[in-house]
Amino acid sequence: MANFLDKFKEVSNGVINKSRSAATDLRDKYGEQANIAVKDLKVKYCEQIHKTALQLWDRYGEEISSAAIEIVKGSVKRYGRWIVDKDLYKTHIVDRLWEMLPMPIRVFGRERLGWDALMMNLRENIFHIEGEEVSVNSDAREKIATALKSMLQHHPAE
């Protein structure tokens, strides 16, 4: 999973730096007229990162899904009560996982990516919650992979 995140971060940072440089050059040269061009650059930036994310998912998706399911299984043992309680789940798991994502992913925005809805949906679909007892559903790995890829397939510039 580290390879995926490192490569994604490297490519994304390169795109960010080029976009910032181009935007600054346009603003310096054209002033207010550059705003339209800057918006176009933002769309191109988002499209390139989106394409890169999907390519990297195709390459590293299995590794990420495998790592994610191990994290999920460990979280049941250590943080079962956070999973049972929706408010604790959001505060201690959803919010913290968002903060752990690389900046190039977070730059798309939590709402635009549907992060909270995705994580709440995963809570409902990968865990079996009965009273205070929590277990991981047998098809959780596949559901995690499907949910993450679905998030990446949503075009971030939309």
What is the per-residue pLDDT for 26?
67
Cα separation, 70 vs 29, in Å, equals 52
Whole-number Å distance between alpha carbons of 33 and 12: 26
Rounded to whole angstroms, how far apart are CA atoms 79 and 117?
20
- pLDDT for 28 equals 73
Residue 62 pLDDT: 82
pLDDT along the chain (158 residues), means of 10: 63 69 71 69 75 78 81 86 92 86 76 87 92 92 86 61
Q: What is the pTM of this model?
A: 0.62
109 domain-assigned = yes
Give the range of the structural domain holding residue 115, as residue numbers without chain letter.
2-153
Exposed e or buried b per residue across 67-86, where buried means at least 16 C-beta atoms within 10 angstroms of its C-beta: ebbeebeebbeeebebbbee
Q: Name the amino acid, one letter, at 81.
A: R
Structural domain count, the chain: 1
Instruction: Give a yes or no: residue 158 inside a domain.
Output: no
